[in-house]
Structure 1
Amino acid sequence: MAELEGLLEPTALSELVRRWLKEDVPSFDFGGAVVGDGIETAVLYSKSKGILAGKPFFQAVFDELNCEVEWRTSASDGEALDGPFPIALADVKGPVRKILLGERLALNVLSRCSGIATRSSGLVNIAKQTGWKGIIAGTRKTTPGFRLVEKYGLLAGNADTHRMDLSSMVMLKDNHIASSGSIRKAVEKAKIVAGFSAKIEVECSSVEDAKEAVEAGADVVMLDNFKPKALQGAAQELRKWAGGHNFFIEASGGLSEASLADYCVSGVDILSLSIMQGAPVVDFSLKIPRKSA
């Protein structure tokens, strides 16, 4: 999936890396004083199975530190790391102080992003094995300051990012509806401010709520916390009732890797869950060859 690596806006990526470095080195780099500025080459190794994701972030860290990264493999983000391990993925060349300054930051991002891609890929594969044709999406339950990495990891694992942020799509949840007075009022207000270019999604706790949302003009109805059998019945009822209305049905709440297959029912277009929360990491290391005494 090489096209993913050109998806990130360079200026935004550089600004993100600078914030990370400022957080990690707010004043003195004491360890850097120990090793100095001699030129060294470190090797990036993958050490466990998973889906590779996060190469642009790894690259951007060392670009910011004026180190050269030469990738030994043509593996793109989204491809599987199957071993045998360790696999040498890249060489990082530059002043040793700069390599070690960026080491943990670059590895953390690569490990976390690859872990999210790995989990995403596993969930997508579970859904495919059932024969279901819908979309697996990751919710906005992301880590503050780390959303871009996590959403990128979803894409690398072939999942959908759902809405990137509050400006991407209008999602009217229970508190929006309670504050507005009704689903219809909430949707009408949303249409005024969002215009024609943004979809409107409404969280619904019943089929009746979903019908009200669709009649008000919602593009997506999210059936929240339905059990699988109830979800299938609700989706079938909505499809039969729909008439000329065109809308997506999403299900969320209660989904996990263990239960996902049960939710892959006909009539449902999207299954969304908090893929990023609790995702495992993929193990990487960066090693400078030890000098002989």
Structure 2
Amino acid sequence: MAATYGDVRHLLPGNYKRQITDWLEEDCPSLDYGGFVVGESEGEARLLGKSKGIIAGVPFVDEVFSQLGCTVEWHIKEGSELNLTPIHHCATVRGPIRKILLGERVALNILARCSGIATKSASMLAALRKEGWNGILAGTRKTTPGFRVVEKYGILVGGADPHRHDLSHMTMLKDNHVWACANNRAAADGGVADKDVTSIAKAIPRAVLAAKSAGGFATKVEVECRSVEEANAAIEAGADIVMLDNFTPDGVREAAKVLKDAWNGKRAFLVEVSGGLTEENAAAYACPDVDILSTSSIHQGTGIVDFSLKVSLR
């Protein structure tokens, strides 16, 4: 994963700084009454980690305080585990106390959530590696609107794959795309398509070819499949990835093996498995013929890592 080869912060787009500006404005859109009480005295605050987990979100915290004229000195490297002592001094923030407190809640919210995602991603990946599976653990596009860059960043720090960042990042043909494609074709022929396995399998090649013509050679195409028949149709049409969606563990193992055996030496493709995967059940789906396990459980509804900020005047 990216976290293994370099500093993940170098992947961040410049627009994340504008998002932080918006988040600061959201938290204080009018008068800062607490800041009035504090005044402009200079000081520092200790950023304390109070629960076990992996720390992630450093560049976002840096930017929050940078925009407020403060500096952050980190005492722990991003991606490191917080130790098991009750309190871990992670960083020191310096600047006007009013500004430190102005950024406190925004910074802590980002850090707690991003670290929670990194922790969950790393934990699930470690569980799969323990079972001997060496494939790719990926997130999904089920992210929080306006917060996607932070959530995808946390996945990367945790060692998992962020999968698609947006609709323009790879073409994903889900059942609705194929059903709509089938109905469009049927309407043109004067009829209506049935939503059965056979009609969908017949519609998949047309959808894949349309996607290939739009995305060109550089954009991969993935097709969500409900059966081996649909997966075969997608592979034959040139899909780069077939997603076995909501299969049982036994069904996944059987289907993935059938597909890999059938197309061995003929077509190159990846098998992805998705649908209801969690840290508790993912190992049941992991087998040599499965290349990717994708799940929203590593970034949606995860816990947080607890942090606090304690001010001390100079």
TM-score range, shorter-chain basis? Answer: over 0.9
Q: Could you say which residue in structure 2 is the equivalent of 1:93? A: 94
Cα distance between partner residues in 2 of 1:176 and 1:96: 53
1:28 aligns with 2:51: no
- The residue number in structure 1 matching 2:63 is 60
Q: Does 1:201 align with 2:229?
A: no
1:231 paired to 2:232: no
1:5–1:77: 8 Å Cα contact kept in structure 2?
no
**Equivalent in the alignment of 1:287:** 310
One-letter code of the match for 1:22? E
Structure 2 gap ranges (5+): 183-202
Give the match for residue 46 of structure 1. Answer: 49
Aligned-residue offset at 1:162: 0.6
1:249 corresponds to 2:250: no
Corresponding residue for 2:290? 268
Distance between the aligned counterparts of 2:287 and 2:243, measured in 1? 14
SS of equivalent to 2:287: coil
1:290 Cα deviation (Å)?
A: 7.4
Q: Is the 8 A contact 2:48 2:91 kept in 1?
A: yes
Equivalences for residues 123-272 of structure 1 within 5 A: 123-181=124-182, 182-243=203-264, 244-272=266-294
* Whole-angstrom CA distance in 1 between matches of 2:225 and 2:52: 39
Q: Which moved more, 1:180-189 or 1:104-113?
A: 180-189
TM-superposed CA distance for 1:224, in Å, is 0.3
In structure 1, give the amino acid aligned to 2:240: D
TM-fit CA distance, 1:240: 1.1
Query: Which letter maps to 1:3?
Result: D
Deviations 1:73-118 (A, max 9, x none): 2x32222112323111111111111111100000000000000000
| Deviation per residue, 1:34-58 (Å, 9 max, x gap) | 1111111111011111011000001
CA distance in 2, matches of 1:5, 1:81: 20
Q: How big is the shift at 1:238?
A: 0.3
Q: Which runs of 5+ in 1 are unaligned?
A: none
Contact 2:43–2:313 (8 Å) recurs in 1: no
State how many pairs are aligned.
288
CA distance in 1, matches of 2:78, 2:242: 32
In terms of mean alpha carbon deviation, does 29-38 or 172-181 score higher? Answer: 29-38
Contact preservation (8 Å) 1:13, 1:60: no
Whether the aligned pair in 1 keeps the contact of 2:79 and 2:158 (CA below 8 Å) is yes
Q: Is the 8 A contact 2:205 2:233 kept in 1?
A: yes
1:14 corresponding residue in structure 2: 17
Percent identical among aligned pairs is 52
> RMSD of the TM alignment (CA)?
1.3
Q: Distance in 1 between matches of 2:96 and 2:179?
A: 58
SS of match in other structure, 1:288: strand
Aligned-partner residue type, residue 174 of structure 1: D
Aligned residue identity for 2:140: T
Q: TM-score, normalised by structure 1?
A: 0.95
Give the 4+ runs in structure 1 shifted more than 4 A: none
User: How many angstroms does 1:254 deviate by?
Assistant: 2.1
**Distance (whole Å) between structure 1 residues aligned to residue 134 and residue 91 of structure 2:** 37
Q: 1:163, CA displacement in angstroms? A: 0.7
Question: Which letter maps to 2:11?
Answer: L
Instruction: Note if contact 1:203-1:224 (Cα within 8 Å) is conserved in structure 2.
Output: yes
Deviation track 1:104-162 (CA, whole Å, cap 9, x = no partner) reads 00000000000000000011001101101100000000000000000000000000001
Q: Is the 8 A contact 2:272 2:292 kept in 1?
A: yes
Q: CA deviation at 1:256?
A: 1.0
Return the alpha-carbon distance in structure 2 between the equivalents of residues 78 and 53 of structure 1.
6
